[in-house]
Amino acid sequence: EVQLVQSGAEVRKPGESLKISCKGSGYTFTTYYIGWVRQMPGKGLEWMGIIWPGDSETRYSPSFQGQVTISVDKSINTAYLQWSGLKASDTAMYYCARQYCNSISCPMGYWGQGTLVTVSS
């Protein structure tokens, strides 16, 4: 069974750094893209970026380029989303998701449970 398990909720102050995780299991981790999606409180879904765990090739949405870093550690089947200087506007639920099939044209068919990030002074 394909599963994506995300790290728990986080509370940080503005300016602090943060790295959240997404551990995949039940499939060959290096052969499916993993993406990250933001959902601000009461709002819609926003695409942040995608990574190919096999070689760590990463593509960011223009809105998130330079604002976050997506990475993987394929030795432990885990993808990461990190910030170096959080802002209050980063407060949101963050989802990781895996492609439904292993083609670049496949949408995200398996989702983590979400990680709530709260940034407040």
Partner 1 sequence: EIVLTQSPGTLSLSPGKRATLSCRASHIVSNTYLAWYQQKPGQAPRLLIYGASSRATGIPDRFSGSGSGTDFTLTISRLEPEDFAVYYCQLFGSSRTFGQGTKVEIK
| Residues in contact with 62: Cβ distance below 8 Å, sequence separation at least 6, in sequence order | none
- Our finding on whether 46 is near partner 1 (CB under 8 A) is yes
Work out which of 20, 22, 50, 79 binds partner 1, going by CB under 8 A. Answer: 50
The distance of closest approach from Cβ of residue 63 to partner 1 in the complex, given in angstroms and rounded to an integer, is: 9
Work out which of 7, 23, 27, 61 binds partner 1, going by CB under 8 A. Answer: 61
Residue 7, CA distances (Å) to 13, 33, 121 in order: 18, 19, 22
| Residues 84-113 close enough to bind partner 1 by CB under 8 A | 95, 97, 100, 104-109, 111-113
Residue 24, CA distances (Å) to 33, 43, 60, 72, 83 in order: 11, 26, 21, 11, 21
CA dihedral 28, 111, 118, 74 (to 10 degrees): 10
| Residues 24-43 close enough to bind partner 1 by CB under 8 A | 35, 37
Q: Please report, as ranges, the residues that interact with partner 1 according to CB under 8 A.
A: 35, 37, 44-47, 50, 61-62, 95, 97, 100, 104-109, 111-114
